[in-house]
Amino acid sequence: MNRRRCATAAITVVCALTVLASPVQAAYAAPTPPPPPVTSASGKSLEEVRREIDTLYRQAASATDAYNLAEERAKKQSAEIVKLAQAIVDGQARIEDLKMRAGAAARAQYRNGGIPDEARLVLTDDPQLFLSGVGRLQQGQKATKDLLAELKQRQADLEAYTKDASAHWTRLEANRVQQARTKKQIETKIAAAKRLESQLESEERERLLQLERDEQAEAQTAWLGSGVLKEIGGNASPQGKKAVEFATAQLGKPYVWGAEGPGSYDCSGLTSQAWAAAGTGIPRTSQEQWRLLPRIDVKDMRPGDLIIYHADASHVGLYIGDGAIIHAPRPGRNVTVAGAGSMAILGVVRPDK
């Protein structure tokens, strides 16, 4: 089963690269004249419907990034709260131990009749005992002073841990509220897009899909026509190869917002898991990947690099070479190979730079 999936994935990549990396004239030779606009049952042209659906999915993608970021932050806050809770428990135990030791010292003094060690020392008329007593007295005073200093520090630490835990909890709750809010936005946008598609006849949906392909092909043709592939020739790093291998093995799996495998992915879930499989942890969301990872010029791109798309960095794909990416497009689509220039490129980042 796994062997068949890998073989299918390899064939898919080879076929896609054959088309995507071919000269522009060969790949999209003699384009046929565009058909006349087709009107949907709603009275809008299919192009208008397609753009409306595309806008909804783009808005859902932006909300998905916000959701994923809030989820990632919530996980970190939860982990911090657990660490602080353990620190509080350890601090309380240490304070109790210090109090017991301080109490033991006080009881020892009481057993000596309540006479301070300094007074007992003055009353002795043995010079040797006096000198050794001075040393013990100094050691005892230092031990007591250190004990009280540590007790004071532990109490201050405990107060700080408690304050930090409270702040982390507040942020955790804020992130959970943000998650709930963005989840509702995502579900609303996706439901609206699906509702628009469901109103179309099967022939209209097929035509809608073709319009989507045509726009992507036109953008890829223009990108290839710029001669960009003549400049791009870098070889993948060992880690980059592993990331590409992982992404290739996911071909055909469905897009699900917020998913990061193993059965489904969203766009940044795929890229973050691909690089995790290569041994490098990267930010979970496409916007954070764009913000935090090292940026490189498109001409220096090599397989394994991440291409960030759209002005709001709401989409990401893994470059696999020859002008192609593997990405998880949107709800209703599967992980697939696409032209690297089929969408508006914002920039390129390299996880292992």
> Which pTM value belongs to this model?
0.63
pLDDT at 170 over 80: no
- Please, what sign has the CA dihedral across residues 100, 104, 110, 116? negative
Q: Facing residues of 307 across strands?
A: 317, 348
Task: Please tell me whether residue 278 adopts helix, strand or coil conformation.
Answer: coil
Mean pLDDT of the chain: 78
Contact predicate 336/326, CB 8 Å = yes
Residue 350 backbone phi and psi in degrees, to 5: -125, 110
- CA-nearest of 351, 324, 330 to 259 is 330
- Residue by residue, DSSP assigns 95-144 as HHHHHHHHHHHHHHHHHTTT--HHHHHHH---HHHHHHHHHHHHHHHHHH
- CA-nearest of 340, 336, 342, 239 to 13 is 336
What is the rounded CA–CA span in Å between residue 242 and residue 236?
9
pLDDT digits (tens, 9 = 90+) for 95-112: 677 677 766 666 665 565
Give pLDDT, residue 220. Answer: 95
What is the rounded CA–CA span in Å between residue 135 and residue 121?
11
Give pLDDT, residue 281. Answer: 96
pLDDT digits (tens, 9 = 90+) for 120-149: 544 455 555 544 544 554 555 566 666 667
pLDDT digits (tens, 9 = 90+) for 36-93: 444 444 567 878 887 888 888 888 888 888 788 777 777 777 777 777 677 777 767 7
What is the rounded CA–CA span in Å between residue 148 and residue 262?
55
Give the percent of the chain with pLDDT over 90. 35
Does residue 33 have a cis bond before it (omega within 30 degrees)?
no
Give the percent of the chain with pLDDT over 70. 70
